[in-house]
Amino acid sequence: MRIGVLTSGGDAPGMNAAVVAVVRRALVRGWSVSAIHEGYAGLMEGRIADIGWNGVSHVQQLGGTVLGTARSPEFRTSAGRKEAVFHLVQARISRLVVVGGDGSLTGANALRAEWGAHIEALLKERRITRDAANTHPRLGLTGLVGSIDNDLWGTDRTIGCDTALHRIVDAVDTLTSTARSHQRSFVVEVMGRRAGFLALAASVCTGADHVLIPERPADDWEGEVCAALWRGRHLGRRKSIVLLAEGACDRQGKRIEAEALRAMIERELQIETRTTVLGHVQRGGTPSAYDRVQSTALGVAAVDRLVGEARGAEPTVMTTAGPSVVPRLLAECVRKTAEIATALDEGRFQAAVNARGPEFMELLAAHDTHGRPAGSQAVQRRLLLAHVGAPAPGMNAAIHAFVRTVSVAGHVPVLAHEGLRGLLEGRLAEVDVDGIQSVGATLLGTNRWRPRTTGEVAQLRKALQTHDIDGVVLVGGFGALEAAAAMRVPCAVVPATISNNVPGTEISVGADTAVNAICEAIDRLKQSAVGSRHRVFFVEVMGRRCGWLARAAGIGGGAELVYTDEEPPTLDRLRQDVAGLNAAMDAGRTVGIVLVADGVPDPYRAERLADLFRQESGGRFDTRVCVLGHLQQGGRPSPADRMLAVRLVQKAVADVLSGCRPCVVGLASGAVKTERVEHALAASDRDARRPTFPRLLASVTDPPGPPSA
C-alpha cells in the first residue's frame, strides 16, 4: 500500500520534521510513500513522486516546507477535487497525510467525503479502470495541524506556533532594552489572525504592560491601555510595551490599527512611542526544538493511525495534550473551530475564550494578575519561595509570577537567597522582579542543601518559625521533593530542572530551553562537517540517569543514535549500530550524530564509544567528541519554560494558601494538576533519581540507515 503526504496553506516551522516522520515511519511499517509537491495546487497538476529514506535526510532543522505549498482556488470546487482524486488513483495512493491549517484540513475532509462519487464519475469518463476503482474504493485520511496561529480547537499546540512565539519573544526582549534606554513605549503587532494566543503568550513571557486580543475586546480599549501604561510608569518602569494581535477589534468589530494605537498613546500620555510590525519573520527560519520533537511524534502517530485503522473509518486529526498525541475526529475539530469564529462574530467573547482551552484561560488570568496593583488582606500571610538544586532556565519567570501572584492576593512574598541554606542563615530579601523573565538562571541563586537528618529537619522548621513563614513554594529538581517532605507548613513544589527527572509532571521548567540549546549545537556541528565530511560527532549531554533530555534532543536534532542509562549500549547493540553506521556511510551519508547521556555506565562514555566506532569504521569516517556541559543550563529561557513557570506557580500559590500538605504541581496531558509528594516519591527510582515509568518519546529519530541497511 502507498501513503501520500502533502503540506498545504501557509508554511509553518516544523512541517519538515512532520514529513520526515511520516516518510520514515511508513517505510519502517512496510508502506511505500509518495510526496505531493506544492500542496493542493501540485496535487491538481499531478506533481507526485516517490520518496525514500534519504529523500528526507537532514531537513527537520529547515524552516518552511521542502515539499512546497500553494493555495489552490480550483481545489475548492467539486471539479477540482475530482481531478485530485484522479491523480491520487493514478499514483496508487490510498492513504493521505495532510499537514496544514484548518482550511487545508477542511478541503481534505471534503475530498474524502466526495471520493466515491468522483471515482464513479472518473469510471464513466473512462479515465480510470475498474480495477483501479476497486483497489481504491475510499481514501484514508489523517491531518496534522500546521499553523503558527494556534487556532484549531482541541489541540494545545499547532505545528509552528512555538517557533513563532520564539520569534516574538526574542523581538520583544530585544526591544525592551532600547525602550528602557530611551524611556519609550513600543506597540508590537503580531500575527495570529483572529486567534490571540501568540500575543497573549508573548505578553506573559515578556511582562508586557498590556495586550489587545480578539477574544476580549474592551468597551474602552483606549482607556485600558492608558491606565495600564500609566500604572507601570507610576511603579518606576522606564519602558512600556503593548502587544497587539493583528485581529484585535473593539466591541463593535472595528479593527484596532497599530498606527492608531501608537498615536493615541503619544497624544494621551505624551510618551514617545514606536511601532514594530513583526510580519512574516514570525513564521520563517529554523524551527524550535518543540516544533521538531512534537511534529515528529505527530507524524509517527498519523502513520500508525492510517496503517491500523479499518477501511471507512472517520478521518482524524492528530492533536497534542502536553507531550501526548491525541487523535480527534477531523470534522469535530473543524466544526468547533468554526464555532469560535461565530462566537466572535456574535459578540459572545467569553464563549470564545472558554473554547480556546484551559491554558489560554490560565495565561489570561496571569496577565490580569501581573498587571494589577498589590491587594490587601486583614490577615496577611508570609509565603516563602526558595530554590533547591541546580539552576534551570525559567526560574526567574517563576520568581516574577510568585511575587506578583502573592502580592495581588494581599499577602507578603518572601524570597530566600541561595535556597534553603539562605533561609537558615536569614538571607531573606526583596528582589526587583520587573523584566526578570528573560534572564537566565536565577537572580536569587540556588543551593543543593536539603534536610537529611533529624537535626537538620528541626533546624529548618525552626527557621520557618523564626521568620513567620506560613507557606513555602520550592522551585527545583528531585531534591525539592525530598525537602518538601520535611515541611510542616503548607508546601508546594514547582519542578524546575533541565533533566526533566521529577515525578509528578510530564515536563519540568528548564527542560525545553535545554533541548533547544542541544538542537542548536547539533545544527552547528552538522554545518562544521560540510568541509571535512565523513565525520561522526559523539555529543555528551546532561541528564545523568534520566535519559529524557538525550532522547528529546536526539529526535529534534536528527541524531543517528542515542545512548542513555535506561537504554545503555551493550556489545550486541554496538555491533549492530556500528554495522548500520558503516552501511549508511557506504550509501552516501557524510555526517553522523550520536548523543550520549552523561549518566551511561563508565565503560560506555562518549570518549570510549568514539574510539570504538572510529576503530571499527574501516576508515569510512573519523570521530569527534563534543561535551556541551553547562551550556545546556544557561541562556535566555524559552517561551515554553516561561509560560510553564507561570502556570505552575499560580497553582502552587493557590494550593499553599488553601493549606495543602506537601505536593508537587505539574502537567498531566497538558493540564496543571497536583499530586502529593509522598505519592510522587513512591512512583520514582530514588537511587537513579528519575520516575519509575518510562518518559522516553516513542518516535523515529534518524537510524543509521533505511530499514534495509
pLDDT digits (tens, 9 = 90+) for 252-308: 889 999 999 999 999 999 988 899 999 888 888 899 999 999 999 999 999 999 988
CA triplet 641, 521, 279: central angle to 5 degrees? Answer: 60
**Same CATH fold, 511-632 and 161-282?**
yes
> Tell me: the pLDDT tens digits for 176-210?
887 777 678 899 999 998 999 999 999 999 999 99
Domain 511-632 has CATH 3.40.640.10: no
Cβ-proximal residues to 460 (8 Å cutoff; 6+ apart), any chain? 420, 423, 424, 451, 483, 486, 487
CA triplet 631, 670, 392: central angle to 5 degrees? Answer: 20
Q: Which member of 11, 50, 102, 149 is catalytic?
A: 149
pLDDT above 70 (res 699): no
709 versus 65: the higher-pLDDT residue is 65
Picking from 52, 43, 50, the residue whose alpha carbon sits closest to that of residue 107 is 43
Query: 382-510+637-691 has which fold?
Result: Rossmann fold (3.40.50)
Local confidence band at 510 (pLDDT 50, 70, 90 cut-offs): very high
CA triplet 443, 445, 447: central angle to 5 degrees? Answer: 160
pLDDT above 90 (res 239): no
> What one-character DSSP code corresponds to residue 469?
-
Ramachandran angles phi, psi of 622, nearest 5°: -105, 175
- Per residue in 349-374, is it b (16+ CB within 10 Å) or e — as a string? beebbebbbebbebbbebbebbbeee
What is the spatial distance between Cα 137 and Cα 544, in angstroms, rounded to a whole number?
52
Query: 161-282 has which fold?
Result: Rossmann fold (3.40.50)
The CATH class, in words, for 2-158+287-341 is alpha beta
* Cross-strand pairs, 100: 145
CA triplet 600, 518, 318: central angle to 5 degrees? Answer: 100
Half-sphere exposure of 414 (CA within 13 A, CB side): 20
> Tell me: the pLDDT tens digits for 306-339?
988 766 688 999 999 988 899 999 999 999 999 9
Ranges of each domain in the chain:
2-158+287-341, 161-282, 382-510+637-691, 511-632
Residue 149 known to be catalytic: yes
> What one-character DSSP code corresponds to residue 61?
T
The amino acid at residue 705 is G
* Set of cell numbers at residue 554: 536526539
- Residue 231's pLDDT is 85
Residue with cell 516522520: 21
